[in-house]
Amino acid sequence: MTFRHALALCLITASLASCNGTTPGCSKCGPTTVSLGGSVSGLVGFRLALQNGSTPLSIPLNGSDANGTQVFATININTGYNITVKTQPTTPSQTCLVANGSGTTGNAAVTNINVTCTTNPPRFLYAVNRGSGNVSGYTIDAAGVLTPIAGSPFTAGGNPVAIAVDTSGAYVYVVNQLSANISAFTIDRTTGALTPAGTAIGTGSSPTSVAIDPSSSYVYVSGGGNSGTVSAYTIATGTGVLTAVAGSLTAAGRSPSALTVDPLGEFLYVANESDGTFSAFSISSGNGTLSSEPGSPFQCGASPKALALDPTGNNLYVANSAANTLTGINGLPVTASAPPGSISGSPYATGITPSAIAVDPVANTLYVADQGANTISGFKIGGASGTLTALTGSPYATGMQPSAVAIDPTSKFAYAANSNANTVSAYAIDPKSGALIAQSGSPFAAGLIPVAIAISD
């Protein structure tokens, strides 16, 4: 080979190497990676996770703000892809489907992958009957009408006062105040019947409330009276059986009355009735234990009885049962440099003895059970600001002493447990105004002194 031929071969080799996408400054080379994009629609819940094959995608998809055009991932050209749902969203529970999720990339971006989400309709409602020590179960039909489940009521412990359904709709947990324990049940996904999941597990003294993190990994129970505490339990996959988390007993304020977990499962908030405060905790992603946030606890109102977060998880509402008001708190989650503040217009007037709160994440509305007024107060949440405006026709009549209120996740129906009437009231929700309209056949018979309700999809 002559020197000239050798030089030409070298130049050709260098030229090819410089255009393989690895050499900087190659102006004529095409891209080596392309984006996989498209759109998200109908998302209301949080923690939607996608995957490409078996590889999780890191893009956060939480709440309605994630709807619209999205870039889900970037991969090499001429590479196969298969985008599917890894984790369905919760709070509320939804089912998301991926269209056009598979193919092989070329030299241009993929822009037609569409993720469409729908909220899972309500199927069952459960009411805790404090006086009769059991749980009434109902099916919910397309019109929101309740029909008793075969075998209902289902036996709980002594003086049951609170209930929660996990996000998968597989398990129910009931807090029993007199027997100081928590009963676990599995839900028959066809009939709604409850079957005990193991034996009741002990709690701290005088448990008052229960909440489940959105991943269905942990259950939290408040109690302890003046020595207020929160305890944590793990949920066994496949059985729902609870196991106490070692070292999880955490101090709260005096007489903790209610607790709630944020939509991402990162923070927990507790209403301390005797102190007029709320406590804020971060949740360990490793074992579910709690750590007090800087400056916690924080003042709210007189005798806070219930609390709830808005759909963003950034605004907290606390029902002050002795003040007949609702305190609105913004600036969550708490940081050392930015303590929580007060929402403009707070506190908001409610009926007498507000005792429970439910938030509709679809319509961005909030409802308060006014136990002493036999009414439900309704409010519109003003977007990110969290300000509240009374709904048309509010307050709405209930039965005697409503002690709990719940909203169906599709934003069509509302329910109230009437503790002094032994009934559950059912309402249709006006899709435009949010007003509550009494359902035909309502109220429906419950057990003795129903004090808490929960809905399962």
Residue range 169-187, pLDDT digits in tens: 999 999 999 999 999 999 9
Provide the residue count of the chain.
Answer: 457
Give CA–CA dist 33/74, Å, rounded: 6
The answer to whether the CB of 44 falls within 8 A of the CB of 95 is: no
Domain ranges of the chain: 32-118, 121-456
pLDDT band at 29 (very low <50, low <70, confident <90, very high): low
How far lies 388's CA from each of 359, 407, 452, in Å?
A: 12, 18, 25
The answer to whether the CB of 57 falls within 8 A of the CB of 49 is: yes
Residue range 79-95, pLDDT digits in tens: 999 999 999 999 889 99
What residues contact residue 455 under an 8 Å CB cut-off, 6+ apart?
A: 122, 124, 125, 126, 140, 165, 406, 407, 408, 409, 415
Written as one letter, the residue type at 407 is: I
pLDDT band at 338 (very low <50, low <70, confident <90, very high): confident
Is domain 121-456 classified as CATH 2.130.10.10?
Answer: yes
So what's the pLDDT on residue 30? 62
Residue range 98-119, pLDDT digits in tens: 999 999 999 999 999 999 999 9
Shortest CA distance to 441 belongs to which of 429, 418, 425? 425
The answer to whether the CB of 89 falls within 8 A of the CB of 421 is: no
So what's the pLDDT on residue 135? 98
Q: What is the Cβ-side half-sphere exposure of residue 44, based on CA atoms within 13 angstroms? A: 20
Inform me whether the pLDDT recorded for 207 exceeds 60.
yes
Residue range 369-380, pLDDT digits in tens: 999 999 999 999
Strands 375-381 and 55-56: unpaired
Give CA–CA dist 368/69, Å, rounded: 36
pLDDT band at 163 (very low <50, low <70, confident <90, very high): very high
How far from chain centre, in Å, is Cα 312? 10
Q: What is the mean pLDDT of residues 217-226?
A: 94
The answer to whether the CB of 132 falls within 8 A of the CB of 449 is: yes
Extract the tokens encoding 426.
């059912």
Q: Which fold has domain 32-118?
A: Immunoglobulin-like (2.60.40)
Q: What is the mean pLDDT of residues 184-198?
A: 96
